[in-house]
Amino acid sequence: MHEQYGGVVPELASRAHMQHIVAVVDKALHDAKTDLKSINAIAFTKSPGLIGSLLVGSQFAKSLALSMDIPLISVHHMQAHVLANLIPSADPSKIPSFPFLCLTVSGGHTQIVQCASPLDMRVIGETIDDAAGEAFDKSAKLLGLPYPGGPLIDQYAKKGNASRFKFPEPQIPNLNFSFSGLKTAILYFLQENIKENASFIAENLPDICASIQQRIVSILLNKLKKASDQTGIKNICIAGGVAANSGLRNAFEETGKKNNWQTFIPKFEYCTDNAGMIAITGYYKYLAKNFESLDVSASARAEF
Ligand code: KG4
Ligand code: ZN
């Protein structure tokens, strides 16, 4: 629906939420082989995000909780990405113990989070401009690839030579990130090369994608290493849509081996936006009896 516009159109997104929410909840209950009567509480995403879509979800959750007289739990989207690492797995060694650090990389956020327990987390580094997912998507756009371009860069990069082109690494203090300079550097790089050869992109797409991906990954992992050195924490997770990137996953495992980290990555389907991560966060808030009253409202932006 959004691809033809080159990005998510908020109004279309909220209308689609309205149209589909009942059918989606029905299908989720059916697929989970359960029914509404067996549900103990309703968790919903309160923030951050597109306000129209958040309002549909929060109003629906409130109505459901009220009609069933069960607790209502609000969830912060970024906290949920982190806690996707705690979704039970057949192999318990795949679940991190506390404290751990999590690099959360999505379309809207890039954060390093220090977690002392499921509900006690602190952001110790974040992007000052674009998010890592945006860096992938904007680079893809410059290359003429459709939205969202992150997964396409990943695919082309697999066939490319990552050392062919060199893009700059920004010098940002502390544990913060910046990706806007990289986007500008890629723009100028492409303009100069296209001047010499009009089919530069078509002839070199895998190498360009591999080189861009390697730079984004090295920016992320250098800061993650710094965070581990500063905190002394060696249980390290990644989360968020960009954690689905194969270059990041491989380099993360390699960096982990070199530095004696215990590394954790959620299952592929729990990296990009999903309801499982909202449910696991709801579960921990349920245990802590961290409930909302019915006057709670969604918000587009919020700290956690
Ligand atoms: O967490 P997410 O699903 O949604 C947000 O909360 O933003 O992240 C979406 C972002 C998009 O920017 C998308 O391009 C990026 O994750 N992404 C990837 C890959 N899969 C998703 N980026 C690079 N490589 C991938 N394989
Ligand atoms: Zn997300």
Each residue of 203-250: pLDDT tens digit?
999 999 999 999 999 999 999 999 999 999 999 999 999 999 999 999
Q: Which of 273, 103, 102, 81 is nearest to 177 (CA)?
A: 103
Q: State the Cα–Cα distance between residues 238 and 148, nearest whole angstrom.
A: 20
Position 298 scores a pLDDT of 95
Ligand 1 neighbour 179 (Cβ under 6 A): no
Decide: 104 in ligand 1 pocket, CB within 6 A: no
Provide the residue ranges of all domains of the chain, joining segments of one domain with +. 3-80+273-287, 96-265
User: Smallest Cα–Cα separation from 243: which of 259, 265, 224?
Assistant: 265
How far does the centroid of ligand 2 lie from the alpha carbon of residue 48, in Å? 9
- In angstroms, what is the span from residue 240 Cα to ligand 2's centroid? 6
**Mapping DSSP to helix (H, G, I), strand (E, B) and coil, where does residue 12 land?**
helix
User: Is-same-fold flag (3-80+273-287; 96-265)?
Assistant: yes
Question: CATH classification of 3-80+273-287, choosing from 3.40.50.2020, 3.40.720.10, 3.30.465.10, 3.30.420.40?
Answer: 3.30.420.40
Euclidean distance between CA atoms 243 and 266, whole angstroms:
8
- Residues 31 and 1: their CA atoms lie apart, in Å, by 25
| Ligand 1 neighbourhood includes 248 CB (under 6 angstroms) | no
Q: What is the pLDDT of residues 167-213, one digit of tens each?
A: 999 999 999 999 999 999 999 999 999 999 999 999 999 999 999 99
* pTM exceeding the 0.85 threshold for the entire prediction: yes
Residue 273 Cβ < 6 Å to ligand 1: yes
- Which atom number of ligand 1 is nearest to the Cα of residue 246? 26
Q: Among 3.40.50.300, 3.40.50.9100, 3.60.15.10, 3.30.420.40, what is the CATH number of 96-265?
A: 3.30.420.40
Q: Is 272 in the pocket of ligand 1 (CB under 6 A)?
A: yes
Q: pLDDT tens digit string along 122-170? A: 999 999 999 999 999 999 999 999 989 999 999 999 999 999 999 999 9
